[in-house]
Structure 1
Amino acid sequence: MRLSKEQLEQFDRDGYLFFPGLFTAGEISLLAGEVPQLYARREAYNVREKDSDAVRTNFAAHMYSEPFARLARHPRMVGPVMDLFGEAVYMHQFKINGKMAFAGDVWQWHQDYGTWLNDDMMPTERAMNVAIFLDDVNEYNGPLMFIPGSHKKGVIEARHDLTTTSYPLWTVDDALIARLVERAGGKNGGIVSPKGPAGSMILFHSCLVHASSSNLSPWNRVSVYLSLCAVSNHIRRFQRPEYIAHRDFAPIECLPDDCLLKAYPVQLPWKDGVPASALQTSPVPIEEMRKAA
């Protein structure tokens, strides 16, 4: 799948593109069917909600789950990002976020690149998120909210929130959010929230300011988030475990478009468990680590 000139212009203006129903019911059923057994595992890569046992985020499923390993190489997801960057990409982060019925907590207002810069020392914002809905997303089950055009501000000031939820995040001050929303149109489009059926996909800029509210509805809202980074822009520090911020900078090689429905072979390096090396971290930049070695 390749982007048109109009889509490229829209992305530059708004900071996101929405593709309702891009994946079929059969493709999504295969992925969604894997989630319960992944969430059931008592592993470090399953981060649970602060006040419940519900999984907030499952990391790195493409390293140990065959269906998600194939999704990580899907041309409908990788192709548009390569169009936007004009170069090959690697997988910086792979998450299955569970906004579970009655239990899914908020994600505060933030830019993803703020975290990647501060925690991982990613040089520039040449990285992007792809969100794929595994459940129908409506106005009640905690949909993503974007401030259109906020990516044009570049990296904005953030603070490290370690207390609001179970997952630390570099978050944006409320007063600045109010100014950004007003600049984007206030009550007339200053906040947008793409909603649609399972199988829908969103591409959004790593500097686009976004958030989601808690899920008080009786409907789950599980989505896959794949963070793709230009190979030339790979991270420079391994301060976080590898299951959160990956260290393999090899370009993604796409599988055929029917890869979710056919059992194309894929490597599953962590199928027998996460190696100890993936849990090791260092605040020292890669260049200094290499010099010391």
Structure 2
Amino acid sequence: MHLTPEQLEQFDRDGYLFFPGLFSTEEIRTLTEAVPALYARREAYNVREKGSDAVRTNFAAHMYSEPFARLARHPRMVQPVMDLFDEQVYMHQFKINGKMAFEGDVWQWHQDYGTWLNDDMMPTERAMNVAIFLDDVNEFNGPLMFIPGSHKKGVVDARHDLSTTSYPLWTVDNHLIAQLVERAGGKQGGIVSPKGPPGSMILFHSCLVHASTSNLSPWNRVSVYLSLCAVSNHIRRHKRPEYIAHRDFTPIACLPDDCLRLPYPVDLPWRDGLPASALQTSSVPFADMKQAA
């Protein structure tokens, strides 16, 4: 799937593109049926909500689950990012976010690149998210909220929030959010929230400021996020474990477009469990590690 000149122009202006119902019911069923077993695992890669057993984020399912390994190589998700970067990409992060009914907590206002820069030493913002809805997303179950055009500001000031939720995040303060929203149109479009059926896809810039509210509805809102990074822009530090920030910078080789309907073979290196290496971390930048060696 390639982006049109009009879509490229819209992405440059707004910082995101929305594709309602891009994947079929059959394709989405393959993924949704695999989620409960993944969430049930008592592994480090399942981050649970604060004070709850509900999974907030499942990391790296493409390393041990066949359906998600195929999704990680799907041309509808990977090719548009290569079009935007004009370069091959690797998987920086893969997560299944579970905004579960009644229990899904907030995601504070943030830029993804803020975390990737501060924690992983990713050189530039040549990385972005591609998200796919596994459930219907409506105004009640905590949909994503974007501030259109906020990516044009580049990296903004942020603080490391270690207390609000169970997952640490580099967050943007309320005063700056108010300024960005007003700049984007205030009550007339300063905040947008793409909503749609399962199978809808969102592509958004790593500097686009976004958030989501808690889910007080009786409906789950599970989405999959592929964080794709230009190969030349790979991270320079292993401060976070590998299941969160990957260290294999091999370009993604796409499967055929029907890969969610047919059982194409895929490599599952963590099928038999999380290796010890995936838990190891280092706060030393790569360059310093090489000099020390």
1:28-177 → structure 2 map (5 Å cutoff)? 28-177=28-177
3-state SS in 1 of match to 2:175: helix
Q: Over the residues paired in the alignment, what is the CA RMSD in angstroms? A: 0.4
Instruction: Give the paired residue count.
Output: 293
Partner in structure 2 of residue 202 of structure 1: 202
Q: What per-residue deviation string (whole Å, max 9, x for no partner) do you get for residues 209-238 of structure 1?
A: 000000000000000011000000000000
Partner in structure 1 of residue 19 of structure 2: 19
Q: Which runs of 4+ in 1 moved over 4 A?
A: none
3-state SS in 1 of match to 2:57: strand
Q: What per-residue deviation string (whole Å, max 9, x for no partner) do you get for residues 51-82 of structure 1?
A: 21000000000000000000000000001000
Paired AA for residue 137 in structure 1: V
Shift in Å, 1:44: 0.2
Partner in structure 1 of residue 259 of structure 2: 259
3-state SS in 2 of match to 1:289: helix
* TM-score, normalised via structure 2 length: 1.00
Shift in Å, 1:289: 1.4
Paired AA for residue 101 in structure 1: A
Paired AA for residue 288 in structure 1: D
Shift in Å, 1:189: 0.1
Partner in structure 2 of residue 235 of structure 1: 235
Distance 1:250 1:82 in 2: 14
3-state SS in 1 of match to 2:289: helix
Paired AA for residue 230 in structure 1: A
1:184 to 2:187 alignment:
no
Shift in Å, 1:278: 1.0
Show structure 1 runs of 5+ residues with no match.
none
Shift in Å, 1:167: 0.1
Partner in structure 1 of residue 292 of structure 2: 292
3-state SS in 2 of match to 1:109: strand
Paired AA for residue 94 in structure 2: F
Distance 2:151 2:102 in 1: 31
Distance 1:136 1:291 in 2: 51
Q: What per-residue deviation string (whole Å, max 9, x for no partner) do you get for residues 101-138 of structure 1?
A: 00000000000000000000000000000010000000
Shift in Å, 1:287: 1.6
Shift in Å, 1:290: 2.1
Distance 1:131 1:214 in 2: 18
3-state SS in 2 of match to 1:239: coil
3-state SS in 1 of match to 2:38: helix
* TM-score, normalised via structure 1 length: 1.00
1:268 to 2:268 alignment:
yes
3-state SS in 1 of match to 2:118: helix
Paired AA for residue 223 in structure 1: S
Shift in Å, 1:292: 2.0
Distance 2:218 2:143 in 1: 14
Partner in structure 1 of residue 247 of structure 2: 247
Show structure 2 runs of 5+ residues with no match.
none
Paired AA for residue 60 in structure 1: A
Identity among equivalent positions (%) equals: 85
